[in-house]
Structure 1
Amino acid sequence: MTNAVQHQQPESQAVLSARGLRRDFGAFTAVRDVDIDVRHAEVHALIGPNGAGKTTVFNLLTKFLQPTAGSIMLMGQDITRTPPDKVARMGLVRSFQISAVFPHLSVLDNVRVALQRNNHLSYQFWQPLSALNRLNEQAEALLASVGLTRERNALAADLSYGRKRVLEIATTLALDPKVLLLDEPMAGMGQEDIGTIANLIREVAKTRAVLMVEHNLSVVADLCQHVTVLQRGEILAEGDYDTVSRDPRVRTAYMGTEEA
């Protein structure tokens, strides 16, 4: 990406890892003994049927939930008990399933507001947005890199659903994440928007690790180098898409009614 720092990590290196991850809710164990390695310059998919524990794993990795047991490492540092705001500042950034942008700000202003943190600016909302003019060059470059230049002056509320998701990813990239977690980025999209977002994710993953929860198996097959399949909170299978899609346990649990 145009505005991104080139993080020089060996492509085989896991930048986000979990070992023995477990989460109990009372007597119910939602996640049990999950090991995962998310590697630099790869797209890693977390898939499974409804109730498999995918969202819980996401919440544990991003520290919205504390694990009952297990450990989490980010860039070689133990973040198991680190609060979520500090984890985000360390470079682990999550984009949510529901678009989260400021609807009554322009596309450009959404990106400028997002850029302020990495530029060590303390922006107060009672100040005029012109206070962020120093970020215009970075913001314009980022918009160009995700294909939003034509919509720069449009209100975020007026964008189509797919373009809002592109803007959300742009504001996430403004934080210059080392690991980007995407929660169902293709949810509710038409085929044209799916292609746009897939190409954007592929480009993003050239300089950072991407972990995504995704139900669209065609997208997973096309985009992801590694797939982890969850069932009832445990890892059922993992490997590349061809490997897991041929696993009879996966077909029985998840892909029986899907095109593999």
Structure 2
Amino acid sequence: MVGTTDDIILQTQGLTKDFKGFTAVSEVDLAVRRGSIHALIGPNGAGKTTCFNLLTKFLIPTRGTITYKGEDITRVKPADIARRGLVRSFQISAVFPHLTVLENVRIALQRKRGDSFDFWNSEHVLKELDGEAARLVEAVGLAEFSRHQAVELSYGRKRALEIATTLALDPEMMLLDEPMAGMGHEDVDRIAELIRRVSADRTILMVEHNLSVVASLSDRITVLARGKVLAEGDYATVSKDPRVIEAYIGAGHG
């Protein structure tokens, strides 16, 4: 038993996705506690990406249900679940390369208000958004780069900007799709610390390959293999599970 119903913010039951005879995700039961950092891991081909795309509504399940805050969202569109506080970072939060860091965050704030753009709004309204945008930019450690175009940022700082634009949507739950992908050691440490900070008052579910990051950040881990849940628990538990060790070695991971 993971927790009471009130403890669980996101839950799946029997989540399954078939692709023309191939089952990528099979009967996955997942329960994410409120206020936790929950990692979804597994060797290559385990079904992590498909599962994540099902949870974030970029794919529709063949069978099974997805419940968010007690409400069935199995057939709800991605934009609609974002408005309910379930936001996928690095997909919904696009960064515009030739706008400044501040302008990128301001656009995300405009989206939260329900306006596509505020070109015709008063300067007073835009200045109000600038103040809120500046606070978010500072929160992710980019204050000194606020007037820089996004294209000028290092890879890790672009990821920090993407997190800022996600935070601008005021999510109750953030879904992070491989936040450390392609990063050097210094950027990994910076973004890991940022994720730890922003998790203080929200729930985070992340797919991540960097197991040292998973070990340091995650409260709970679900391990997938061949589309099914292989093991679940804290890092100390799953890392010692013989089935998990075999799955990673069998897939060519050391």
TM over 0.5: yes
Q: Deviations over 1:197-224 (max 9, x none)?
A: 0111111111111011111100000110
> Deviation of residue 120 (structure 1)?
3.7
Give the corresponding residue for 1:210: 204
User: Which amino acid letter does the alignment assign opposite residue 19 of structure 1?
Assistant: Q
In 2, are the aligned partners of 1:40 and 1:207 still within 8 Å (CA)? no
Runs of 4+ in structure 1 deviating by more than 4 angstroms, as ranges, are: 126-131, 255-259
> Deviation of residue 119 (structure 1)?
2.6
Distance, in Å, in 2 between the alignment partners of 1:53 and 1:122 is: 34
Give the corresponding residue for 2:71: 77
Q: Do structure 1's residue 234 and structure 2's residue 220 form an aligned pair?
A: no
Q: 1:187 to 1:72 in 2, by over 3 A?
A: same
In 2, are the aligned partners of 1:99 and 1:164 still within 8 Å (CA)? no
Q: Do structure 1's residue 42 and structure 2's residue 32 form an aligned pair?
A: no
Distance, in Å, in 1 between the alignment partners of 2:122 and 2:21 is: 50
> What is the correspondence of 1:1-260 to structure 2 with a 5 Å cutoff?
13-96=7-90, 100-123=94-117, 132-254=126-248
User: Which amino acid letter does the alignment assign opposite residue 169 of structure 2?
Assistant: L
Q: 1:98 to 1:192 in 2, by over 3 A?
A: farther
In 1, are the aligned partners of 2:93 and 2:108 still within 8 Å (CA)? no
Give the corresponding residue for 1:3: none
Q: For 1:64, what is the secondary structure of its paired residue? A: coil
Q: 1:98 to 1:47 in 2, by over 3 A?
A: farther
Q: 1:105 to 1:129 in 2, by over 3 A?
A: farther
- Calculate the aligned-residue CA RMSD, in Å: 2.1
Distance, in Å, in 1 between the alignment partners of 2:50 and 2:129 is: 36
Give the corresponding residue for 1:7: none
Distance, in Å, in 2 between the alignment partners of 1:206 and 1:189 is: 24
Q: Deviations over 1:11-38 (max 9, x none)?
A: x711111111001111111100101111
Distance, in Å, in 1 between the alignment partners of 2:200 and 2:249 is: 29
TM-score normalized by structure 1? 0.90
Which ranges of structure 2 fall in alignment gaps of 5 or more residues?
none
Q: 1:129 to 1:25 in 2, by over 3 A?
A: farther
In 2, are the aligned partners of 1:97 and 1:187 still within 8 Å (CA)? no
> Deviation of residue 39 (structure 1)?
1.7
Distance, in Å, in 1 between the alignment partners of 2:100 and 2:127 is: 14
Which ranges of structure 1 fall in alignment gaps of 5 or more residues?
1-9
In 1, are the aligned partners of 2:12 and 2:31 still within 8 Å (CA)? yes
State how many pairs are aligned.
248
Distance, in Å, in 1 between the alignment partners of 2:116 and 2:232 is: 43
